[in-house]
Amino acid sequence: MTSFKPKETAYDHIRAVEWENGRLKLIDQRILPGKFEHLYLDHLPESAKAITDMVVRGAPAIGVTAAYAVVLAARDRYKESPGGWQKTIQADLNLLAEARPTAVNLRWAVEYMRGIINSGISGDPVPRLLAEAQRIHVEDIAANRHMGELGAALIEPGSGVLTHCNTGALATGGYGTALGVVRSGYAAKRIKEVYADETRPWLQGARLTAWELVQEGIPVTLLADSAATYLMKQGKVKWVIVGADRIAANGDTANKIGTYMTAVAARYHKVKFMVVAPTSTVDLSTPDGNGIPIETRAESEVLNYGGTRTSPEGAKAWNPAFDITPAELIDAIVTEKGVVTNPTRDKMLAMMQK
């Protein structure tokens, strides 16, 4: 199959990752909403760079992209050495796995595809690996739709909700994790209004979440991250709904910087806090949040805005891309395997064993 775009449904018309004419096709999320453009990639190194440079971002979307990137690498290596491609591709896989350190889905996808490669494939590996990448893609969307239904069922009809960062179709294979709950909740009339944090310094909420919801006809109100606490005090939101880049065995969750302070504020104001992520994001080998590596990005992302210096020369910046929300601040973790309320290590393990 030379092209592949999973089926669209109501409130679900955006695909950040596609396989088209034997190439990896990505929406360039760095330039939204001002421009809507695709990048077409033919090789693994440029695919890894696209992940690092945030052409594609969001843990599930990175995982899907990585699976397709392995297909590109296998095609190249098999052409070079039909008898030795399984050996030469290993360096490519290692390069891809290091493209971003925090999102566990990236390494999960790479290691899954590595396992298939190492198990032995006779002849041209592309058909087998492409079928696996497409399966991962389809299953991610199906999981998102199921999580959307599970999460929406927790929300009282007519509620307002708050999101942080982008957790929609742009961050996944399609439909979204936290925004999948929003899509399902809005369709079921459980969600009346969506509030989206800007999510500095990359403004994923302003540029991407707001854009997605506008495209789908779902009402959205944008606010500065620092306004979220006051919004909660006004009684405007009943739930905060976020995604995750990694969930530790005890339920501690790594997500976009600013999630932790939002969780603290939510607990104080008796606003419920929901994390929505596939089980591929759960890392049982990491006991708690202290073991999750936190990516630190360039100071320029904070010192500049839109390419213009907005801070004085000589000032420094601290720019962690993620923070850790302790499990005790989370009311529900929603995965495709079910809902874990008030998460603990035992509850997470029981969910993962289903």
Q: List, by residue number, the catalytic residues.
A: 245
Partners of 223 in beta bridges: 197
**DSSP secondary structure of 301-321:** HHHEETTEE-S-TT-----BS
Residue of 57, 283, 254, 276 whose CA lies nearest to 172: 57
CA–CA gap between residue 171 and residue 61 (Å, rounded) = 5
CA–CA gap between residue 227 and residue 224 (Å, rounded) = 5
Counting DSSP H helices and E strands in the chain, the numbers are 12, 16
Tokens of 319: 């720019």
CA–CA gap between residue 327 and residue 251 (Å, rounded) = 5
Q: What are the φ/ψ torsions at residue 15 (nearest 5 degrees)?
A: -130, 110
CA–CA gap between residue 176 and residue 141 (Å, rounded) = 8
For helices 59-80 and 85-97, angle between their N-to-C axes, nearest 10 degrees? 150
Cα–chain-centroid distance for residue 323? 15
* Peptide linkage before 278 cis (omega within 30 of 0): no
**DSSP secondary structure of 238-279:** SEEEE--SEEETTS-EEEETTHHHHHHHHHHTT-EEEEE--G
Q: In what order do the strands lie in the sheet with 17-20?
A: 17-20, 23-27, 38-41
